[in-house]
Structure 1
Amino acid sequence: MQVQAMALAAQRHRQAECSRIDAALMRIDSGDYGWCVRCGEEIEAKRLDRAPATTMCLACAKEG
């Protein structure tokens, strides 16, 4: 039972990551990639290098 639960959790994690990547690709197509969805400021290049699918700048991400 535990193995099955772990497999389901891993599958949900992969699906969520695929959704984040798809959303990032749509932002690239629309010209919104690299801009914070909360405050509209540019997301730091180092942050995008580490997490290319991120949607918020570090300040907004820290706010919650």
Structure 2
Amino acid sequence: MEDNGHFGIFNDLPVILINQNLDKIDTSLTILHEMAYFLNGECDKYITNHFQNDNLE
């Protein structure tokens, strides 16, 4: 994996992929970053009350 992480939908389920070569801090930050996609509406089917932050990136 070239990126730190990726959020997507696979078989109708939300999935987060994390680069296994990251250290603990970068892994934690990547998980938080990718979870934000989930919480910000990348999959409206699963969450109806989203935390909105357009400046997250």
Does the alignment reach a TM-score above 0.5? no
Larger Rg: 1
More helix by percentage: 1
Could you say which TM-score interval applies, normalised by the shorter chain? 0.3 to 0.5
Between Structure 1 and Structure 2, the one with more strand by share is: 2
Using the size of structure 1 for normalisation, the TM-score is 0.34
